[in-house]
Structure formats: C-alpha cells, structure tokens
Structure 1
C-alpha cells in the first residue's frame, strides 16, 4: 500500500500533466502482454510488424511487464504538456549516479546489461534514447494526436468533478485502487510505503497505454543517491480508452435518428466522451466542416456544450443530450 498524508499546501498543488514518454514506455508493456491490456489489441497487432527490426532488449529490460520500471525513463512530467523531444532530452541529462541507482530498483536485470550501463551511464542514456526515438517514430507518433485529445477530454471531465464536488469527487472515480480518507490518500500496491507529501504537491497523469493499471511515484528520497527527490505522481487509466482504436461508432438508436437525423444522432452517441471536431470527423467519416455545422445546431439546441482545453475546443453532451441517448 502506498499512502500519502496531504497537507493543505499539497492540496493546492495538485495538478494534471500529460507524458508522451510514459505512453511510450507503457506501450512496450502492452506490446509484450496484450492479454493484460486487451483494449490495445488492435494497436498491438498493427505495431508488432513495424517494430520487428528494432533491438528493444535494453528498453524491455528497464521496463519489465511486471514490477518496477526504471524511474529515469518513467519520471513525473515537469510541465503540464511536455513534448517527446523535451522528455528525451531530460533522459539524456540524467545524472550518472541516478541511472545506476534506478536500474538497481528493476528486478532481474541481467548482470551483463547492468554492467554495461554502470560502466558508461552517459553512453547508456544516449543509446536508450536513440532506441526510444526509433520506436516512437514507428509505433506511436501517428497515434499521439488522437491520444492527446483523449487525455485532454479526461482532464476536462476531472476538472469539472473537482469543481462540482471537491477533492473527494476527484478521487472517488480516479481508479478503484485509489482511496481518499480525510487527509490520507492511498493506492493499493505490492510495495509498502507511507509518508507526507511535505508541500511538494501531487501530479495526476492520465495514461492511455498504461490501462488498466495505476502507477505511482512516491517522492521518496532514494537510497544511495543524494540528488533531488522524484515528484510524487499517480498515473491512472484515462477515461474512454476503449474508443482510441475504434474506427466507427455504434449506430444510433432508430428513434433518436428519426427525431434529429442520423448524423446528429451519431454525433451525440459518439460524444459519450468529450471530443474535438477533427476526432468526430475521423470516427464518423465526415468532413470537419460538416461536423462543425451539425455541432452548431446541437449546441444551439442545448444538446452539446463546448470548452477550450489547452488550445483545443472539446464538445461534450449536456444533461439534455444525455437524456436523449438513454
């Protein structure tokens, strides 16, 4: 069990962030264990042939299917929306002793590989980043825009939960393993640790490729390394992850289609999770212009609302829209 005691200043510093690097690292887990990450099976089938020629041995070792992943390739994002190039640069700048300490946390690292990294940590980080970059280019780069829209929709949802019901509402449905009880926030975990956040705050990271598990960064000071502590983090499964690989939405009910038209009914059904115009156009196989016209009508009718998140306009069903789709 992981347990933090929250101070008032910690509550004020709870924030959301995205991490393409964490999506990348956890996708390597889904790639090897699709049975445990079944919603990503369409991606796994399409991606395995694309990465067949890459030597991912070192990355796979540092990111095992079960157990601790090396922190220097799965760190807490330092800004709300970092780009992958910036996160790769951060890996390259990892101090040598931190690399050595972090690989000591990973179970069953072959001694030969561990010795190779310890002998020249700087060269190891460059080598690892080069491999991660090659993997990103063929496995995830094309999917990042749609993944980012899903993450933005999740943050919009949870921000509204926080505004409506406070901290308790935010954590009530974050994940079944996460519990807030007074000033104690706990996450079910094989690793036992408890402590205070001590004013550092907590970063919440929605993850698509990490589904269905929760990952944590405790913020502990690491034995054997005197550098800065890791920023505390909970990485949790994003809402609506099942829609990420869908190519077409479910057909709208006949009665709803007869009432407002099949296309507008399809848009309402698809907006079970907030989405941008381009995402709706792709899923419904219509032009963005056509989608925009229908959204304008639905918005004027009070069936959908729109919110700007990180430069993107997201549409979502209103309570009235929800009632029509039930």
Structure 2
C-alpha cells in the first residue's frame, strides 16, 4: 500500500524532530515480544529478557497492548510537546488521555483481550496501572542503557538537521528510509497497513528517530500533527565493544579503581559482579560507585532485588573524549 502526505509551505515550516522515551518503550518491547532473533540487539535482549520475565512484565499491560507486530494504540505514544520530553512527562500525558480516545484505539483489539476490555471499562484507573508498569519496564530495560541510546538518537537528529541546512528537506526525506520518497511536495510512504493523509490532522510533521525499529511507523490523531518514527543511524554500534583508550589518563584524574569500574560498566552491572570481575572488595566497589554517582558519572537502577549501576551521559562523553 502506498500513502501520500502532502506538504504546504506551512507544513514544511512546522516539521520538527523529537526524541521520545515512550516510542523507545514501544519499539523495544516489540523486540522483546518477538520470538525471532535480532542479531543487532541480541546483547541487549539477552540481558533484559530475564529481568522482564522475573518482574512479570511479559504477561502484563504491555504484553496485552504491544504485540511483536501490528497495531499499537496511539495513546501509548503521545505527541511530544518538547524536542526531548522526559519519561515522566509522557507518562503524565498517557494518564491524562481522554477516555474517548482510549476507547477509539481499543476498537482495534478483539473482545477476547481481557486487559483491553478492562482498560475500555475504566480508562483513568487502568491507565494509571499501565503507566506504573511502563515505569517499571523503563527501570529494567531502558533506563540503565539510556545514556547510550540517547547519544545515538541525538547524533541522528544533529545529522538530519545538518542535512536540511545543507541540502534541503527533500533530501532529508529521501534519506530517512527506503520506503520513503519525496516528490512534488508530497512524502510518499510504501506501507503494509493504514494510510496516512492530511485529512483532519494538524499542520507539520514530527520526526522521531528510534534505536529499536527497522522500519517506518506512523501516528495520526486529529487535530494533532502526525508523527513518523524511523530507524536512527548508528544504532548498529550501540552494543559493540568499545575499548577505553588512554586509561592511564582517566585513572590519573579519577583514580585507578574508579577508572577500572567505569571501564567494566560497559553494560549495567551490580556491585557483586563488579567486585568479582575487578578484585576490588564489595565494600570498596560500593564506596567508589557512591562517589561516582554523587558526581553524576554513574546512575543506579533497581532490577528486582539487585541494583544495577550504569554509565551516565557524562561518563560516556568522558570516555569518548579519550580517543
């Protein structure tokens, strides 16, 4: 199926980018729900699947509403008001979704889906439960990795914005994905599912990069402008091993033990695992991580009974700047 999204001068003037935590929640959960292997994201899947299963999130609200393929309700990915809304802001928007819009989206689900029917019967109460589950999923599956994911998404937006400045919007649209093409003031999409038109929707277009999708997804809810989710460039490097160069220079600033711990935090890790891998006592690891956390260099994320430590964007920048 081919659909066309016409652009006026006003539509082009209102086209913008946004980085959305909720789109990454939906896209990443679809990967987890798929029985197929995904070599690009397999390291992440291997780490996250056991945590999600242990928390019962493989059989909760997300499992009922986010299939591996197919329709996902629009209220799960509210229109980003800012270029980079927080997860808290998007969860607040989900909780505030009008019951009419919730029920309209749920018309796509069979009556045999008990959670969809419960949500239809009590949108405010059930949306609050759904939002709480999303927050738990974030802590387990995305929060510990967000510094890396966000860096990829921000880099993609920067690159695309530069394309617009240097070569124009038409070149941008032609480069987003093989299923998209720009011709005669119209963005053409080759799709398998629903069409996207200007009928009844708002002016402009919100372009949202994703580290977890391999295809284009669209969102349309009048009177808002449409959203278009596309694969971010650089996602293939997310889980690659990145050796830390000039380790001695970092150690001279942070200390040898703290530099070693940062190196070992290429993936989110618990205090116990860090102590085992580095030979530093558990008490020593905890002391160093507390200092790094207080300095904004690492972050903490609860995963069941364990606490995972992860590098923040500050740490990733520090390590990247050592090349």
- TM-score, length basis structure 1: 0.71
Aligned to 1:216, the other structure's residue is in SS state strand
Q: 1:51 to 1:167 in 2, by over 3 A?
A: same
The answer to whether the aligner puts 1:86 opposite 2:123 as a matched pair is no
CA distance, structure 2, for counterparts of residue 16 and residue 42 of structure 1:
28
Structure 1 equivalent of residue 139 of structure 2: 137
Do the aligned partners of residues 250 and 143 (structure 1) sit closer, same or farther apart at CA in structure 2, a change above 3 Å counting? closer
3-state secondary structure, aligned to 2:130: helix
Q: Deviations over 1:167-203 (max 9, x none)?
A: 1211121000111111110211122425337761000
Where does structure 2 lack aligned partners over 5 or more consecutive residues? 246-312
Quick one: structure 1 residues 134 and 250, their matched pair in 2 at CA, closer, same or farther if it must change by over 3 Å?
A: closer
Find the aligned partners of 2:135 and 2:196 in 1 and give their Cα distance.
35
User: Match of 1:242?
Assistant: 236
Distance 2:225 2:37 in 1: 28
Structure 1 equivalent of residue 4 of structure 2: 3
1: CA distance between counterparts of 2:154 and 2:132? Answer: 28
Work out whether residues 20 and 144 of structure 1, in 8 Å CA contact, stay in contact via their aligned partners in 2.
no
Structure 2 counterpart of 1:172: 174
Which of 140, 146, 149 pairs up with 2:148? 146
Counterpart contact for 1:61–1:109, Cα < 8 Å: no
Checking the alignment, whether the CA contact within 8 Å between 2:153 and 2:210 is kept in structure 1 is yes
* CA distance 1:192–1:72, shift in 2 (3 Å): closer
- Is 2:121 the partner of 1:95? no
1:212 is aligned to 2:214:
yes
Q: Please state whether the residue corresponding to 1:50 is helix, strand or coil.
A: helix
Shift of 1:60: 1.6
1:33 alignment partner in structure 2: 34
Aligned equivalents of 2:113, 2:33: Cα separation in 1: 22
Alpha-carbon offset, residue 35 of structure 1: 3.1
Contact 2:202–2:224 (8 Å) recurs in 1: no
* 1:62 to 2:65 alignment: yes
CA 1:170 to 1:17, structure 2 compared with 1: closer, same or farther past 3 Å?
A: same
Which residue is equivalent to 1:300? none
The verdict on how the C-alpha distance between 1:55 and 1:31 changes in structure 2, with shifts beyond 3 A counting, is: same
Residue 34 (structure 1) shift: 6.2
- State how far apart, in whole Å, the 1-side matches of 2:25 and 2:162 are: 28
How much has 1:78 moved relative to structure 2?
Answer: 1.9
Please report the RMSD computed on the Cα atoms of aligned residues, expressed in angstroms: 2.4
| CA shift digits 1:122-169 (9 cap, x unpaired) | 111011011111111111111111111111111111111111110121
Give me the whole-angstrom Cα distance separating, in 2, the residues matched to 1:140 and 1:46.
Answer: 11
Corresponding residue to 2:192 among 171, 186, 190: 190
Report the 3-state secondary structure (helix = DSSP H, G, I; strand = E; otherwise coil) of the residue aligned with 1:79.
coil
Structure 1 equivalent of residue 302 of structure 2: none
Instruction: Name the SS of the counterpart of 1:196 in structure 2.
Output: coil
Partner SS, residue 52 of structure 1: helix
User: What corresponds to 2:19 in structure 1?
Assistant: 18
Which residue number corresponds to residue 164 of structure 2?
162
Distance 2:183 2:37 in 1: 30
CA shift, 1:112, in A, is 2.6
User: Could you tell me which residue of structure 1 aligns to residue 280 of structure 2?
Assistant: none
**Cα distance, 1:248–1:34 mapped onto 2, change above 3 Å:** farther
Residue in 1 that maps onto 2:130: 128
